[in-house]
Structure 1
Amino acid sequence: MTVIDANNLILGRMASTVAQRILNGEQINIINAEKAIISGRKDATFDRYHAYVARGSREFGPRFPRRPDQIVARTIRGMIPHTKTSGRDAYNLLKVYVGVPAELSKEQAITIDDASITRLSTSNYTVLGDLSKRLGSKF
């Protein structure tokens, strides 16, 4: 079992790495999902995610999550063949948490160097927790 700290990691780069690893059979736990980073202008990012959320309704889909842990899991799900048996089995190896749960507090968390925020300029990014609150989440 591998614990990945999403603090200051770019969401898409982290998700692609995690998707490859769970498809290879590795069990992954992601902590601090609300501290992940989405690159791009803040208003454009919010407009894109708001369009995803507003597309469906309560009765009819598609339903897009608002909580940061569910957004991270949905992003990773989009990078695996989740309708096939291998993809469903791989997706079951993934757990995403807001904050650090008690059972993982003693585990050593790693980071993904390729997904680090140091690759970005300092002004063009959105923290996933802030985006989630603007979308209406109560995490």
Structure 2
Amino acid sequence: VEIEAAAQAAQAHDFIMGMPDGYQTLVGERGMTLSGGQKQRIAIARALLTDPRILILDDATASVDTETERLIQLALDRLMQNRTTFVIAHRLSTVRRADLILLLEKGHIVARGTHADLLQTSPLYAQIYEQQLRPQERVDLKL
């Protein structure tokens, strides 16, 4: 029951149930039969089960398509509740709701603040935002 609840919270339950033997399916060493997004969601489910006080996420949405990123982000939102979380990310969508964002350039912190603060004070952050998020927000508005 706990495993299924964690899988549901991690947006993994549906793809697990679609596998030949559901939760009993063998996925091979290092999950070689799983996609990158599926591996990420399984890792999130495992983290939910261990319930750590501090969580470190390293590019949790790297190399996945937009829909998988959305599912992973939903899972991460649940996972990060009520715990200290450090997120290393190249995608602003992963960090824009963070309490504090540190922007690094060439290994040095060049700006810090919330998403809204950085849009106003950091030309580099604003440029990244324009490249990554603004096009998606335009699409969302049309829907």
Q: TM over 0.5, yes or no? A: no
Normalising by structure 1, report the TM-score: 0.28
The structure where helix makes up a greater share of residues is 2
Normalising by structure 2, report the TM-score: 0.28
